[in-house]
Structure 1
Amino acid sequence: MIEYPILEKDATIGITAPSSGVDVELHDLVKQACRRMESNGFRIQCGETVWTQDKAKSAPAKKRAIEINGMLQDESIELIIPPWGGELLIEILEEIDFEKIKPKWILGYSDLSVLLLAITLKTGMATAHGTNLIDLRGEYSDDTTAMWKSVLSTKSGDSILQNSSANYQKEWQHDNPTPCIFHLTEQTDWKTVTNKNEKIQGRLLGGCIDAIRHLIGTPFGDVKAFSKQFIDDEPVIWYFENCELPTTDLRRSIVQMKLTGWFENCSGIMFGRSAANQPVGNYMIEDVYQELADELRVPIIYDIDCGHVPPQLTFINGAYADVEVKDGTGTVLQSFK
């Protein structure tokens, strides 16, 4: 059985940087986000790693691990959010005491998805792939991003529906923030390989493919054991987002996942919008999706609201999802069962 934490209105939120911390010149962004969370009734507990960054990480692995282990084991903390992602979270996995984690949400994306997926696979506790702290500093959140609170407040046994966004952000303009942080100028269009409407059902697993692919073959990426122990071998819907990989590297990663058995009992795969996916020669991203559909014989949905091209839905690793794509729009109904 999957264990679902629940977020209460007056919850304490732990802010820690298990991957990248924040350079001094950007500290005000964190402070703005913390004030915004406090204005919404949350209590904030901020760790030391948030305020430092050196050699592509917030702090040495031991220090990062000690800090996040403390928050993971603290019963008074109901939610952990990092300031943002980074590069080297994988260094701390062997230091995480998975057996002592208390029920709580961990929310984020990018490099944090390494920790999210590892925790769900090892413990059966649901984790949340969605917005990070920095993107919650605005006067308000767009409708898609704002759903994170509703999703994390859903009780075990209940369901929550999310809709695809109306518009997405084509490019970041960090020096020109809007009241909701993002510049949502482009019309959202969820696509399918078949160019037809699709419906898929199954347990959600996924994250940033650049990062989670490195769990393959480790004790933290045992999908078969998770499927048997926690979801009774129910079908799995994978969701991926690509931060930086060209088409060939993405293809290699997907093939490795297939060869290691990650796609056994897979009912469908979803890919987020991406500013990467650069073609190699005439090998296009659509070719990657088509080959995957041909090999697995399951629906492939792409350009969904997930990842580094915001806004994004809040996907719960371990939740049972009913996904439907119809005429370019999408719905995701997640059931906490």
Structure 2
Amino acid sequence: MITYPFLDKGATIGVTAPSSGVGVEYQELLKLSTGRLKKEGFQFSIGETASTQAKAKSAPAKIRAEEFNAMMSDEHIDIIIPPWGGELLIEILEYIDFDLITNKWILGYSDISLLLMAITLRTGIATAHGTNLLDLRGKYFDETTAQWQAVLSTRSGDSILQHSSQKYQREWQDAKPSPYVFHLTESTVWRTVSTDTVHLQGRLLGGCIDVIRHLIGTPFGNLQYFQQQIIHNEPIVWYLENCELNTTDLRRSLVQMKLAGWFEHCSGVMFGRSAANKPVEGYTAEDIYQELSEELQLPIIYDIDCGHVPPQITFINGAYAEIVVEAGKGTVKQYFRP
């Protein structure tokens, strides 16, 4: 069964960096983010790794893991939100004490999705794929990003509905700070392969494919155990997003998932918008989605609000979801079913 944490008002947020910390040049962004959330009543416990960064990581693997383990077992910390993603979270997995994992939310994306996936697969505790801490520094939240609090404050047994965004950000404009953080200029369209209308149902799992693919074949990626012992062979709806892979690398990753059995008992696959997906000899992401749909005989949805092209919906690993896409618009209703 799936266990769902609950975010209460006035919660204490633990800020640790299991991947990358915040270097000196970005310290002001961390202060803005914590200050913004303090105005909403949140308290903070900030770890040492949050403010250090060298050689593509916040600290050596054991130090990062020790700080995460300490925050996870600290009864005064209610939720853990890393500052952002990074590159080398995979180094800490062997040092995480999964027996210490308690029923508290972890929220993030990018490299953090590797940790989220490992925890949900191993423990059955739901984890939250969504905004990172530094993207919560704006004076205002756009409607899609703002839903993170409502989603994480949904009680076990209840449900919550989210809608596709109206607009998305094509590119970062750091020289022109926005009170919403993101510069939402492009019209959002959720697209589908083969049919104009798609209706999916199943347990959500996913994250950044660049990193979660590396769980395959490890003790932290035992999907068969999760399917059989935790969700009792209910279908899975995968949501995936691509940070840096060109199309042939994305294709290799999806074939690896298929050969490893990760698409068995699957009812559909969703892909986030991506600024990567660089075609190779005319081989495009759309070609990949078409091929995957034909091979798996499953519906494919793409350009959804997920990942490195914001804003993004808050997806809960382990939640039962109903996803409907029609005329370019999408809804995601998540049921916090055990």
TM-score, normalising length: structure 1: 0.99
Show the counterpart of 1:76. Answer: 76
Partner residue of 1:230? 230
Superposed structure 1 runs of 4+ greater than 3 Å apart: none
Q: Which residue of 2 aligns with 1:96?
A: 96
Query: Counterparts of 2:10 and 2:150 in 1: how far apart (Å)?
Result: 14
Any idea what SS the aligned residue of 1:31 has? helix
Cα distance in structure 2, aligned partners of 1:50 and 1:119: 21
Counterpart residue type for residue 5 of structure 1: P
Which residue identity does 1:103 align to in structure 2? N
Structure 2 CA distance for aligned equivalents of residues 294 and 124 of structure 1: 31
Q: How does 1:114-129 map to 2 (within 5 A)?
A: 114-129=114-129
Does 2:328 match 1:333? no
Q: Does 1:183 align with 2:183?
A: yes
Letter in 2 for 1:15: V
Cα separation, 2, equivalents of 1:331 and 1:227: 25
Query: 3-state SS of the aligned residue for 1:77?
Result: coil
Partner of residue 56, structure 2 = 56
Deviation (angstroms), 1:176: 1.5
Q: Alpha-carbon deviations, 1:138-185, whole Å to 9, x = none?
A: 001100000000000000000000000000000011222211100000
Question: 2: distance between equivalents of 1:138 and 1:176?
Answer: 13
Residue 152 of structure 1 corresponds to 152
In the alignment, the residues of structure 2 paired with residue 69 and residue 224 of structure 1 have an alpha-carbon distance, to the nearest angstrom, of: 26
Please name the residue that 2:217 is paired with. 217
Give the alignment's Cα RMSD to 1 decimal. Answer: 0.6
Secondary structure, in 3 states, of the residue corresponding to 2:2? coil
Which digits, 9 at most, give the CA deviation of each residue in 1:289-325, with x for residues without a partner? 0000001111000000000000000000000000000
Paired with 1:210 and 1:312, the residues of 2 have a C-alpha distance of 18
Equivalent-residue separation in structure 2 for 1:182 and 1:56 (angstroms): 25
Q: Distance in 1 between matches of 2:194 and 2:336?
A: 30
What is the match of residue 321 of structure 1? 321
Q: Secondary structure at the match of 1:35?
A: helix
Q: Count residues in correspondence.
A: 337
Q: Provide, for residues 213-245 of structure 1, a one-character-per-residue CA deviation record: whole Å limited to 9, x for no partner.
A: 000100111111101111011000000000000
Secondary structure of 2:185's counterpart equals strand
- Cα distance in structure 1, aligned partners of 2:115 and 2:101: 12
For 1:251 and 1:3, locate their aligned partners in 2 and report how far apart those are by CA, in whole Å.
33
Alignment match, 2:246:
246
User: How far off its partner does 1:133 sit?
Assistant: 0.4
Indicate yes or no: 2:111 matched with 1:111: yes
The corresponding residue for 2:288 is: 288
- In structure 2, runs of 5+ residues without a counterpart are none
Deviation (angstroms), 1:74: 1.4
Output the amino acid matched with 1:256: Q
Find the aligned partners of 1:70 and 1:333 in 2 and give their Cα distance: 34
Give TM-score, length-normalised by structure 2: 0.99
- What's the counterpart of residue 16 of structure 2? 16
Q: Which residue of 1 aligns with 2:135?
A: 135
- Residue 57 of structure 1: CA displacement? 0.2
Q: CA separation in 2, counterparts of 1:179 and 1:28? A: 15
**Cα distance in 1 between the residues matched to 2:23 and 2:143:** 30
